[in-house]
Chains A and B, each alone.
Chain A
């Protein structure tokens, strides 16, 4: 079966997941994002590429930050952006997901940016559009359940490549709550596809998915051991709101074992970079001295995120 994200020519028409996306497609997204980074530095922060197109932000799960970055990206491409906070609307009246989509397509939507608490929802929408021959309408996954958050994974890859130039030879540690993190899943798929030498998953047993090794990562339960010799340290947010049951004794206890402090960071390479997808819990997974320190590239990640989303949107809408 053909990858539902690609058209017959192998070009990106939807972005649903980094899993199974060919390295050359990922590389092209990263390359395309480079010229978009300079648009944000101009007085006129806009290019006319998506002029007249309608982008619908379809957020079935709240996220002000991600929605805003997609909105900025679409507006810098001159698209019209319509934000739908579906949680408070049609679905509560009983409309199905695909009926909602069909209604919006009837309003001449050109692109859906979808966030949903159910894994696979963006995939379902894309498959529905493909099946019904509406291939001019594109879907970008803005995070689905525990499954994927491909634009976050791409902006992480972009940030790593920006500072480290290449993926081969790199050791990357992903630290913390990997179990609940779609960010971690997307990043792991992206890093392995791009030929990263070593990817480590660091966290307590209770916060690592079962059989995480099958994704091609090395598991470490000890943060110090996991940091030794790293080029890149990716800290994940401790997702309190997703915690069901007692996976952890307390946030304080977590910080003691898995919080990144300057002293622990010293075990990584001297030029290591520290990343975090945000929002940060200072004093839970990361010490303020690290978050505000010289190794942190957390704010550049945010800036690059806009350019990467512009690249994704302009590529899918053109294919």
Chain B
């Protein structure tokens, strides 16, 4: 399939075949938790990128031993596509209820693709302070990076056609599900 550039594995991610088709979100989350257990600092603070990453950060904070306060980030004000796309319709308030200065941070996102959202989120974090370190945990890595950014922890890797976007949804009962959508030409895709 096109659109998969073949990325390096995350620092602690094991070699895994990229799967064609979508993994089950629950299985990918269980895999991500396995990889983070014992590897993540006991006092690491989890910062979820809205919206999918925010749901995941809450799940990970419950599942992973240690003391992991959860914060939320919406890096819309730091995105590099503002000049082309304008501001997206729904911007959430970033809420980081702890000191960033000197903290060990794990950024959490649902899908790692171009790396641009992560770049924007890191930039925003630095306007709150200088973290001791930042790691990145993602539910799925779909390749296609446009920046030199890699995840530290990955739940699943997959190959998806470039014209598709991978989206995480959360049902009323909290069940997470992955789906693909045809990327519209909408300005806020």
Binding site for B on A (CB under 8 A): 11, 28, 31-32, 34-35, 37-39, 42-44, 46-49, 314-315, 318-319
Query: B169 an interface residue at 8 Å Cβ cutoff?
Result: no
Contacts of A38 in B (CB 8 A): 93-95
Known contacts A35-B74, A37-B93, A48-B78; A42/B128 CB under 8 A: yes
Give the interface segment out of B11-19, B80-88, B148-156, B173-181: B80-88
A31–B90 CB distance below 8 A: yes
Instruction: Supply 15 A–B pairs (Cβ within 8 Å), ascending by A.
Output: A28-B89, A35-B74, A35-B77, A35-B91, A35-B94, A37-B93, A43-B129, A44-B128, A48-B77, A49-B87, A314-B77, A314-B82, A318-B82, A318-B83, A319-B86
Query: B146 an interface residue at 8 Å Cβ cutoff?
Result: no
Binding site for A on B (CB under 8 A): 74, 76-78, 82-83, 85-87, 89-95, 123-124, 127-129
A46–B127 CB distance below 8 A: yes
Contacts of A318 in B (CB 8 A): 82-83, 85-87
CA distance A109 to B91 in the complex (A): 27
CA distance A95 to B127 in the complex (A): 44
Contacts of A44 in B (CB 8 A): 127-128
A315–B86 CB distance below 8 A: yes
Shortest distance between the CB of B95 and any CB in chain A (Å): 8
A35–B78 CB distance below 8 A: no
Which 7 residue pairs across A and B have the least CB separation, nearest first? A318-B86, A47-B77, A35-B93, A44-B127, A318-B87, A35-B91, A319-B86
Contacts of A34 in B (CB 8 A): 91, 93
A47–B92 CB distance below 8 A: no
Residue of B nearest to A319 (CB): B86
Shortest distance between the CB of A141 and any CB in chain B (Å): 20
Shortest distance between the CB of B13 and any CB in chain A (Å): 31
Contacts of B82 in A (CB 8 A): 49, 314, 318
Residue of B nearest to A316 (CB): B86
- Which of A37, A39, A314 is the one whose CB lies under 8 Å from B87? A314
Contacts of A32 in B (CB 8 A): 87, 91
